[in-house]
Amino acid sequence: MANNNYQQLTRTFQRLSRFSHLSSIAGWDMAAMMPPGGSQARGEALAELGVLQHQILTDKNVANALEAAQQENLSDDERANLNEMARAYHQAALLPESLVEAKSLAGNRCEHAWRTQRKNNDWQGFAPNLKEVVRLSREEAKIRAEASGGSRYDALLDLYEPGMTSSRLDVLFADLKSWLPDLLQTVVDKQASRTLINPQGPFSTESQRQLGLETMTLLGFDFNGGRLDVSTHPFCGGVPEDVRITTRYDENDLLSALFGVIHETGHARYEQNLPRQWAGQPIAHARSMGVHESQSLFFEMQLGRSAEFLKHLLPKIQQHFGSQPAFSLDNFIAWSQTVERGYIRVDADEVSYPAHVILRYEIERALIDGQIEVDDIPALWDEKMQQYLGLSTEGNYRNGCMQDIHWTDGGFGYFPSYTLGAMYAAQLFQAARKALPDLDQNLNDGNFSPLFGWLQQNVWQHGSRFSTSELITHATGEDLNSRYFREHLTARYL
CATH code of 474's domain:
1.10.1370.30
Band (pLDDT 50/70/90 cuts) for residue 469 is very high
458 shares its domain with 309:
yes
Mean pLDDT of 342-346: 94
Contact residues for 8 (Cβ-Cβ < 8 A; gap 6+): 61, 65
Residue 331, domain member (yes or no): yes
pLDDT at 243 over 80: yes
In angstroms, rounded to a whole number, what is the distance separating the alpha carbons of residues 223 and 213?
9
In angstroms, rounded to a whole number, what is the distance separating the alpha carbons of residues 70 and 101?
31
Band (pLDDT 50/70/90 cuts) for residue 346 is confident
398 HSE (CA, 13 A, CB side) = 9
Mean pLDDT of 248-255: 95
pLDDT at 193 over 90: yes
Query: Collapsing DSSP states into helix, strand and coil, what is residue 3?
Result: coil
**Residue range(s) defining the domain that contains residue 40:** 4-94
211 shares its domain with 83:
no
Residue 289, domain member (yes or no): yes
Q: Is residue 263 annotated as involved in ligand binding?
A: yes
Residue 128, domain member (yes or no): no
In angstroms, rounded to a whole number, what is the distance separating the alpha carbons of residues 330 and 311?
9
86 shares its domain with 211:
no
Final residue of a domain: which of 94, 114, 129? 94
Per DSSP, 72 falls in state S
Q: Is residue 293 annotated as involved in ligand binding?
A: yes
Query: What pLDDT score does 428 carry?
Result: 98
Query: What pLDDT score does 61 carry?
Result: 97
Reported as a single tens digit per residue, the pLDDT across 198-208 is 999 999 999 99
> Could you tell me the end-to-end alpha-carbon distance of the chain, in angstroms, rounded to an integer?
62
Reported as a single tens digit per residue, the pLDDT across 376-392 is 999 999 999 999 999 99
Residues serving a catalytic function are 264
Reported as a single tens digit per residue, the pLDDT across 16-42 is 999 999 999 999 999 999 999 999 999
Residue 458, domain member (yes or no): yes
Question: What is the enclosing helix (H) or strand (E) of 243?
Answer: strand 242-247
Reported as a single tens digit per residue, the pLDDT across 86-133 is 999 999 999 999 999 999 999 999 999 999 999 999 999 999 999 999
Band (pLDDT 50/70/90 cuts) for residue 1 is low
CA atoms 146, 148, 149, 152: torsion sign: negative
In angstroms, rounded to a whole number, what is the distance separating the alpha carbons of residues 466 and 471?
6
The sheet with strand 226-230 has its strands ordered as 226-230, 242-247, 235-239
Q: What are the helix (H) ranges across 72-122?
A: 76-93, 97-119
In angstroms, rounded to a whole number, what is the distance separating the alpha carbons of residues 247 and 268?
13
Query: What pLDDT score does 326 carry?
Result: 96
Mean pLDDT of 287-297: 97
Residue 40, domain member (yes or no): yes
Residue 17, domain member (yes or no): yes
pLDDT at 2 over 90: no
Tell me the one-letter amino acid at 157. L
83 shares its domain with 215:
no
- pTM for the complete prediction? 0.96
Query: What pLDDT score does 245 carry?
Result: 97
Per DSSP, 36 falls in state G
Mean pLDDT of 414-437: 98
Determine phi and psi for 317, rounding to 5 degrees: -65, -45
In sequence order, what E strands does 296-435 have?
A: none
pLDDT at 276 over 60: yes
pLDDT at 233 over 90: no
Reported as a single tens digit per residue, the pLDDT across 126-185 is 999 999 999 999 999 999 999 999 999 999 999 999 999 999 999 999 999 999 999 999
Band (pLDDT 50/70/90 cuts) for residue 299 is very high
Q: How many domains does the chain have?
A: 2
pLDDT at 399 over 80: yes
Q: What are the helix (H) ranges across 398-438?
A: 416-435
Query: What pLDDT score does 275 carry?
Result: 98
Residue 193, domain member (yes or no): no
Residue 348, domain member (yes or no): no
Final residue of a domain: which of 79, 94, 109? 94
pLDDT at 347 over 90: no
Final residue of a domain: which of 94, 112, 132? 94
214 shares its domain with 89:
no
Query: What pLDDT score does 237 carry?
Result: 96
- The per-residue pLDDT of the chain, averaged, comes to 97
